[in-house]
Amino acid sequence: MIRKCLFPAAGYGTRFLPATKATPKEMLPVLTKPLIQYGVEEALEAGIHTMAIVTGRGKRAIEDHFDISYELEHQIKGTSKEPLLHEIRALIDRCTFSYTRQREMKGLGHAILTGETLIGEEPFAVLLADDLCENSGGQGVLGQMVTLYNKHRCSIVAIEKVPRHETDKYGIVAGEEIGEGLYRVHDMVEKPSPEKTPSTLAIIGRYILTPDIFDILRETPPGRGGEIQITDALLRQARKGRVLAYRFQGQRFDCGSVEGFVMATNHFYKKFHS
Ligand code: UTP
């Protein structure tokens, strides 16, 4: 059973400077909700109630968001504004939040390893809040992956097909299709050039990982860009046939980029205001 979701949220978010100079990228709002709140809602919908967040310097707004704000709540009590806090209040009541800090930004793999103290010896989900996913009317992406995990009991990465000229922005997988949209992974490369990529199936920000990944990450040397890459660690599991890649149902917005962020904003605005 997947009980915990890890949110690596320590990155600098340089593509969004200057907005992210003093504000965590995960707190940028799509309409009125910060990105990380969409992520927590998706995890909750997948049946996960324990949120484990890896933060860094300058990220305290995330902790404050998932806490009570007595002064504010007292101020708006009984006014027409009060309902605006109902949703987040209900969310906080249904989850527990724990935090740890990544002191040096040594990459996603390192951020996940930093989260070991919050996860322990059990399989867990990883959600990158800047990939905003939606499956209108259907099960959320993490929920779909938890269902798959319960059947296959191995690590799972969510993937989508990307244009060939964009492979150098993603971890790319190659494998054998064993079911509709489900692949047994045999190769993984971090940000390959379009000429050298083994496929155009790109990993997006949703993972289910088995806890042996922590030992593997500890032994994984820094890879591309001097960072510890989760892709390198997953490849070790993949070589034992222990990684599946899943083409999820739904839509993903890359809210770490300005273009994806604007697309998400337009999408949700149309959805709620038409
Ligand atoms: P990104 O590659 O999007 O990096 O990280 P970033 O720093 O957030 O953004 P840019 O590229 O500078 O604009 C993917 C995810 O991994 C987390 C980020 O917070 C994001 O959710 N991350 C990355 C960490 O938690 N720690 C790291 O050292 C690196």
Query: pTM for this structure?
Result: 0.96
254 CA to centre of own chain: 11
Contacts for 77 with CB less than 8 Å, ≥ 6 apart: none
- Please give the distance, rounded to the nearest whole angstrom, from the Cα atom of residue 249 to the centre of ligand 1: 24
| pLDDT at position 146 | 98
Residue 258 CB-half CA count within 13 A: 7
- Please give the distance, rounded to the nearest whole angstrom, from the Cα atom of residue 6 to the centre of ligand 1: 14
| pLDDT at position 258 | 96
What atom of ligand 1 comes closest to residue 257's alpha carbon? 13
DSSP E strands in the chain: the ranges are: 4-8, 29-30, 33-34, 50-55, 96-101, 124-127, 131-134, 155-161, 171-179, 182-190, 201-209, 243-247, 251-254
| pLDDT at position 223 | 83
Q: What 8-state DSSP symbol labels residue 112?
A: H
| pLDDT at position 36 | 98
- Please give the distance, rounded to the nearest whole angstrom, from the Cα atom of residue 160 to the centre of ligand 1: 19
Angle between helices 35-45 and 86-94 (to 10 degrees): 50
pLDDT (tens, 9 = 90+) of the chain, 274 residues, equals 899 999 999 999 999 999 999 999 999 999 999 999 999 999 999 999 999 999 998 889 999 999 988 898 889 988 988 888 889 999 999 999 999 999 999 999 999 999 999 999 999 999 999 999 999 889 999 999 999 999 999 999 999 999 999 999 999 999 999 999 999 999 999 999 999 999 999 999 999 999 999 999 999 999 878 899 999 999 999 999 999 999 999 999 999 999 999 999 999 999 888 7
Q: 236 is written with which tokens?
A: 């070790």
- Please give the distance, rounded to the nearest whole angstrom, from the Cα atom of residue 181 to the centre of ligand 1: 27
| pLDDT at position 83 | 85
Asked whether 83 and 36 are in contact (CB, 8 A), the reply is no
- What is the C-alpha to C-alpha distance for residues 65 and 41, in angstroms, rounded to an integer? 14
Nearest residue to 114 (alpha-carbon basis) of 13, 230, 231: 230
Which of 38, 102, 108, 255 for mutating ligand 1's site (highest number of atoms within 8 Å of CB)?
A: 108
- Please give the distance, rounded to the nearest whole angstrom, from the Cα atom of residue 171 to the centre of ligand 1: 14
With DSSP H G I counted as helix, E B as strand and the rest as coil, what are the percentages for the chain, rounded to 5?
A: 40, 25, 35
| pLDDT at position 233 | 96
Q: What is the DSSP string of 25-89?
A: GGG-EETTEEHHHHHHHHHHHTT--EEEEEE-TT-HHHHHHTS--HHHHHHHTTSTTGGGGHHHH
Ligand 1 atom 22, closest CA: 11
153 CA to centre of own chain: 20
Ligand 1 atom 7, closest CA: 11
Q: Which CATH superfamily is domain 4-273 in?
A: Spore Coat Polysaccharide Biosynthesis Protein SpsA; Chain A (3.90.550.10)
- Please give the distance, rounded to the nearest whole angstrom, from the Cα atom of residue 70 to the centre of ligand 1: 32
**Counts for the chain of helices (H) and strands (E), in that order:** 10, 13
| pLDDT at position 224 | 78
Q: What are the pocket residues of ligand 1 if the criterion is a CB atom closer than 6 Å to any ligand atom?
A: 8-15, 25, 54, 102, 105-108, 110-111, 128, 130, 256
Cis upstream peptide for 18 (omega within 30°): yes
